[in-house]
Structure 1
Amino acid sequence: MAELLDDVAASWIRDLRAADRSPRTIKQYMLAVNQFRDWLVEHDREPTVDGLTKHAIATWLGDLADAGREPATLQIRYKGLHRFVRWLVAEDELEKDPMAGIEPATVKPKPVPLVTDGDVTKLLRTCEGKSYDDRRDQAILRVLFDCGIRISECAGLELADVDLKHHDVVRVHGKGDVERAVPFGAKTGRALDRFLRARRDHRLADTTDALWLGIRGGLTADGVEYALKKRVRQAGIEHIHAHQFRHGFAHSWLVQGGQERDLKRLMGWKSDSMLERYGSSAADERARAAFKRMRLGDRL
């Protein structure tokens, strides 16, 4: 009898954890597996490994597209299920890859809307108080838009990663657990200093090295996102997600004339293609600013 997808998926999760995959990544992968499993059940098919046929997977992806899912979502689901399938093949649970020949959805890059200075100011005003949550959220907001780090990197910060005495930097553990030092400005330093003093009195201060503390302990990436969403509602502005701060940092760096090589290092990018992706958010604006500086037509 063929194994249930839930059973082999549990083994796969253990393998992913052993490979030090982040909880966020595992969650994304499992969304695809669980959605495919649910699709099998809805179509009166057994949710087993035998259900992973080329026809079933292609039909499932087609149904997702027909339901109006964005190409980016389709690509994420494709990649998540394909990771699972390739693991099954490597573990001899499947003889061959049933997704061979199935192409992922083509995603046309969309410029990410930038967070305006006005919206950032509104967000900061929601946490100008002296409560612990205010001190923490003010510091989180300033770290996100001043340093341009990923939300997972922000959530993963520990006390020892913040250097206020000597270099005004945070040590960030990026993808692949590669460490890099990211500087911050005076206002972010002040916000961090105020937060650290407030953190001393938190009831869980001595139980964990996690920098950002919530009710139950250190904040996860979802916890940081939740804190941001709360401030967005309080500010009465449109939805903002944490990654927009990262795009905004890249745009501001380039529009101010910062070097691409330095930006690549600060952002923790290995590929130059990321410069194109992040730089596209307001490329026209930067091109116009460069044109005005050069004034090529005025030389004659």
Structure 2
Amino acid sequence: MSFSQACQDVIDRFIEMLWLELGLSENTRMSYRSDLLRLAEWLARSEKTLVDASREDIFSFLAARMKKGAKSASSARMLSTLRKFYRYLLREGVIQEDPTLRIEHPKVGRLLPGAISEAEVDRLLAEPDISLPIEARDKVMLEVLYASGLRVSELVGLQLYQVNLRQGVLRVVGKGDKERLTPLGEQAIEQLEVYIKGVRPQLTGGREDGVLFPSLRGGEMTRQTFWHRIKLYVSRSGIAKNVTPHTLRHAFATHLLNHGADLRVVQLLLGHSDLSTTQIYTHVAKARLQQLHSKHHPRS
């Protein structure tokens, strides 16, 4: 088997995992593939492959990209891709040591405000290492937050009894003690089921009641703690934006509207009592559509 074919095969298996296990979009998978092919081509000059790359190789590759003008955010995103790839190879027994360990993320500078795109959500949700119970918990929290548009206080306060996986809904108590049923998408439902059966018992000592997403001490996580967990994954992913729990609630609403959802439906899902509160998201969605029109329309 030629090097190029062997390289392609290992990348293909990784990309397939991104789809089957993480449900990443085609655009995001293409981005991962492109990053890995760049590294493979660079390694080939020294007659090395992705599988036998060392920490020094990875460091030199990133340094060479920076020297050629790659921005810090781009380099951080590249390192995020490589970390995920080598964690996968380690998990599969293909390698014995992760060459990306102890390589620090480049500083991405001042974070930019603004909405987060669907591709950026994909990258953020793919960042937690699900082989670690704490990060597996965080992964599901991010999935549920983006799938439901919950307020962060509603998310960290969720109790196990509020989850109905059979019907695919959460029973949420929002502002003013108003109760609403919030649907979940297939991915969030599947990941919640795996989490409740396999991960949560590791965090609670097997207790079958209480908070859905416990802290390290087994109690309710604070909003500040979850905010810091998000910051960790944003930093790893190289997303150069100020992402908070509310950013994902904002993205939930904006992305629904971008795909044609009715404003009143979004109002119900967000738990807004006043439609005017929801209308702010239509301005963001319209601005995004205008931006796309200006960029791509031949007469713009």
TM-score (norm 1): 0.55
User: How far is 1:287 from its partner?
Assistant: 6.2
CA distance in 1, matches of 2:201, 2:115: 35
CA distance in 1, matches of 2:195, 2:238: 24
User: How far is 1:129 from its partner?
Assistant: 2.5
The answer (yes or no) to whether the contact 1:156–1:173 under 8 Å persists in 2 is no
CA distance in 1, matches of 2:220, 2:205: 9
1:30 is aligned to: none
Say which is worse superposed, 261-270 or 223-232, in terms of deviation: 223-232
2:260 is aligned to: 257
CA distance in 1, matches of 2:282, 2:292: 14
The reply to whether residue 247 of structure 1 matches residue 250 of structure 2 is yes
SS of match in other structure, 1:180:
strand
CA distance in 1, matches of 2:225, 2:140: 14
2:177 is aligned to: 177
Question: What is the percentage of aligned positions where both structures have the same residue?
Answer: 29
1:133 is aligned to: 134
The answer (yes or no) to whether the contact 1:247–1:281 under 8 Å persists in 2 is no
The answer (yes or no) to whether the contact 2:257–2:285 under 8 Å persists in 1 is no
2:239 is aligned to: 237
User: How far is 1:202 from its partner?
Assistant: 2.2
SS of match in other structure, 2:203:
coil
The answer (yes or no) to whether the contact 2:263–2:279 under 8 Å persists in 1 is no
Closer, same or farther: CA 116–289 of 1 in aligned 2, 3 Å: closer
1:213 is aligned to: 214
User: How far is 1:222 from its partner?
Assistant: 1.6
Question: 1:112-131 maps to which residues of 2 (within 5 A)?
Answer: 113-131=114-132
The answer (yes or no) to whether the contact 2:264–2:275 under 8 Å persists in 1 is no
Please list the CA deviations of residues 62-94 of structure 1 after superposition, one character each: whole Å capped at 9, or x if unmatched: xxxxxxxxxxxxxxxxxxxxxxxxxxxxxxxxx
Closer, same or farther: CA 193–240 of 1 in aligned 2, 3 Å: same
Closer, same or farther: CA 113–214 of 1 in aligned 2, 3 Å: same
CA distance in 1, matches of 2:229, 2:288: 31
CA distance in 2, matches of 1:199, 1:214: 10
Closer, same or farther: CA 289–259 of 1 in aligned 2, 3 Å: farther
Closer, same or farther: CA 204–178 of 1 in aligned 2, 3 Å: farther
1:227 is aligned to: 229
SS of match in other structure, 2:207:
coil
CA distance in 2, matches of 1:207, 1:188: 20
The one-letter amino acid paired with 1:218 is: E
User: How far is 1:257 from its partner?
Assistant: 1.5
Q: Identify which of structures 1 and 2 has the higher relative contact order when contacts are C-alpha pairs closer than 8 Å and 6+ apart.
A: 2
CA distance in 2, matches of 1:205, 1:241: 31
Please list the CA deviations of residues 93-129 of structure 1 after superposition, one character each: whole Å capped at 9, or x if unmatched: xxxxxxxxxxxxxxxxxxx721122222222222242
The answer (yes or no) to whether the contact 1:251–1:281 under 8 Å persists in 2 is yes
1:155 is aligned to: 156
Please list the CA deviations of residues 157-198 of structure 1 after superposition, one character each: whole Å capped at 9, or x if unmatched: 110111112x10111111011111110111111111121121
User: How far is 1:245 from its partner?
Assistant: 1.2
CA distance in 1, matches of 2:290, 2:275: 19
> How many pairs align?
182
User: How far is 1:156 from its partner?
Assistant: 1.1
The one-letter amino acid paired with 2:237 is: A
Structure 1 residue aligned with 2:274, among 250, 271, 276?
271
The answer (yes or no) to whether the contact 1:204–1:213 under 8 Å persists in 2 is no
CA distance in 2, matches of 1:193, 1:278: 31
CA distance in 1, matches of 2:194, 2:122: 18
The answer (yes or no) to whether the contact 1:126–1:235 under 8 Å persists in 2 is yes
The answer (yes or no) to whether the contact 1:136–1:195 under 8 Å persists in 2 is yes
Question: 1:1-300 maps to which residues of 2 (within 5 A)?
Answer: 113-165=114-166, 167-197=167-197, 198-206=199-207, 209-216=210-217, 217-238=219-240, 239-286=242-289
The answer (yes or no) to whether the contact 1:132–1:195 under 8 Å persists in 2 is no
Please list the CA deviations of residues 7-49 of structure 1 after superposition, one character each: whole Å capped at 9, or x if unmatched: xxxxxxxxxxxxxxxxxxxxxxxxxxxxxxxxxxxxxxxxxxx
User: How far is 1:264 from its partner?
Assistant: 1.0
SS of match in other structure, 1:202:
helix
CA distance in 1, matches of 2:205, 2:283: 42
Structure 2: gaps (5+ residues): 1-112, 294-300
TM-score (norm 2): 0.55
